[in-house]
Amino acid sequence: MRHPVTFGLCLLGSSLLAACGQGVSQAEVDRALRDVKVIDESNLNDIMLTVADADEAVAYFRKTSAAQPDRIDLKRGLAKSLIRASRPAEAVAVWAEVVAHPQATDEDRVAQADALIRTNDWARAEAVLDAIPPTHETFERYRLEAMVADSKREWKKADSFYEIAQGLTTRPAGVLNNWGFSKLTRGDAAGAERLFLDALTYDPTLFTTKNNLILARGAQRKYDLPVIQMTQTERAELLYTLALTAVKQGDVRMGKGLLQEAIDTHPQHFEAAVRSLRTLDGGVSNG
């Protein structure tokens, strides 16, 4: 992590030594040192926002922001780090400071709305989004607009926002998953299934989407696993989800068979499935 900084200082040192023989003023030397400090700090900020431990990043940005309270970039860093650290309530307070800054942007307001949604403050999130000019058309803005519409059961509006969001990103798996779950909650299991399958074509590793796909198929009484990429452990867990869905719909015999298959498939002891099967064996079989 220190190598780029050291290299930069070495180059600067060489430049300064050469410059000393050319009568460079002290003001120019100071300015060069400041430039290097800004570059080093920018690199450190980027590291803290991406690969650093989330709590460590929070501590760093809290300290640096307190020392330079007028720096909006440091407040942004603190707010983003708090979200990474799963501390959205604290992030909401910091985003409020960010958007009150004269240099605040519409992107900052979208991030504020995201933090509000994470704290289930849907009304304030909607108010923040409504205040953003319609010309600010970004994936993140429309993703949040869709979620707010979902929360109000405004399905046509939600579908429109999800479609727009999908077209504004090259990585739509997450938004397609959310759209599919929205369809599933409305009772449109077939529509949800199509969206989950579409999401998996972009990212076949998303287990949450795979599980949602099984829920959508189970709701249609499709009790076989689809042809998708999965590990042996995932296969067992998906069979378990399908079994519980079958039982919930009254297809107990089918559910028991799926539970047994899940137990046989899992590479280790599958305690949850074993416990569920024992419970069913102690009850009344039907279906």
Beta strand ranges found along 26-154 (DSSP E):
none
CB atoms within 10 A of CB 192: 26
Residue 238 falls within a domain, yes or no? yes
Q: Is residue 106's pLDDT more than 90?
A: yes
Q: What is the pLDDT of residue 52?
A: 81
Position 185 in a domain: no
**Domain contains 15:** no
Tokens matching residue 281? 């064996």
Q: Domain count for the chain, please give it.
A: 2
Task: Identify which has the larger pLDDT, 53 or 194.
Answer: 194
Residues 248-287 pLDDT 10s: 999 999 999 999 999 999 999 999 999 999 999 886 444 4
- Burial of residue 229 (CB within 10 Å: 0-12, 13-18, 19+) is exposed
Task: Dig out the tokens for 252 from the structure.
Answer: 């107990």
Tokens found for residue 151: 């929360």
196-208 pLDDT, tens per residue? 999 999 999 999 9
Q: Residue 104: pLDDT above 80?
A: yes
* Cβ–Cβ < 8 Å for 253, 286: yes
How would you class 246 by CB atoms within 10 Å of its CB: exposed for 0-12, middle for 13-18, buried for 19 or more? buried
What is the reported pLDDT for 278? 95
Residue 207 lies in a domain: no
Q: Which domain holds residue 2?
A: 1-6+39-104
Last residue of a domain, one of 70, 85, 104: 104
Task: Output the pLDDT for position 40.
Answer: 59
Whole-angstrom Cα distance, residue 195 to residue 171? 14
CA distance 176 to 153: 18
Domain boundary among 104, 119, 141: 104
pLDDT band for 50, please (50, 70, 90 cuts). confident
Structural tokens at position 37 = 């400090």
Residue 244 lies inside a defined structural domain of this protein: yes
Furthest-apart CA atoms within the chain: distance in Å: 95
Cβ pair 94, 78 in contact under 8 A: yes
| Mean of all residue pLDDT scores within the chain | 88
Question: Is residue 274 domain-resident?
Answer: yes
Whole-model pTM: value is 0.79
| Of residues 239 and 47, more confidently modeled | 239
The tens digit of pLDDT for each residue in 120-179 reads 999 999 999 999 999 999 999 999 999 999 999 999 999 999 999 999 999 999 999 999
Given 86, 104, 122, the domain boundary residue is 104
Predicted local distance difference test score (pLDDT) of residue 130: 97
Helix (H) and strand (E) counts in the chain: 15, 0
| List of residues 6+ apart from 2 with CB closer than 8 A | none
- Distance separating the N- and C-terminal Cα atoms of the chain: 62
pLDDT above 90 coverage of the chain, percent: 79
User: Could you write out the DSSP letters of every residue in 67-96?
Assistant: HSTT-HHHHHHHHHHHHHTT-HHHHHHHHH
Q: Is residue 276 part of a domain?
A: yes
Indicate whether 160 belongs to any domain: no
Residues 6+ apart with CB under 8 A from 86: 54
Give the Cα separation of 30 and 32 in Å (integer): 5
The CATH number covering residue 98 comes to: 1.25.40
Residue 23 scores a pLDDT above 80: no
DSSP 161-194: HHHHHHHT-S-THHHHHHHHHHHHHHT-HHHHHH
